[in-house]
Amino acid sequence: MQLYFLCTGNSSRSQFAETYARYYAPADWSIKSAGTIPHGVHPKTIEVLNQEGFDTSRLTSDAIDDFLNSADYVVTLCGDARDHCPITPDSVQKVHFLLTDPAGVTGSDEEITAFFKETAAEIKQLMQTFITDIQKNA
What is the pTM for the complete model shown? 0.96
Please determine, for residue 138, whether its predicted confidence score (pLDDT) is greater than 90.
Answer: no
Q: What is the mean pLDDT of the segment spanning 97-114? A: 95
How far is the CA of 110 from the CAs of 35, 44, 52, 105, 117, in angstroms?
Answer: 26, 11, 17, 11, 10
Residue among 45, 22, 18 nearest 33 (CA): 18
Percentage of residues in the chain having pLDDT higher than 90: 86
pLDDT of residue 66: 87
CATH number of 2-137, picked from 3.90.470.20, 3.40.1080.10, 1.20.1300.10, 3.40.50.2300: 3.40.50.2300
pLDDT tens-digit series, residues 42-69? 999 999 999 999 999 999 999 999 888 8
Domain ranges of the chain: 2-137
Residues belonging to the active site:
7, 78, 85
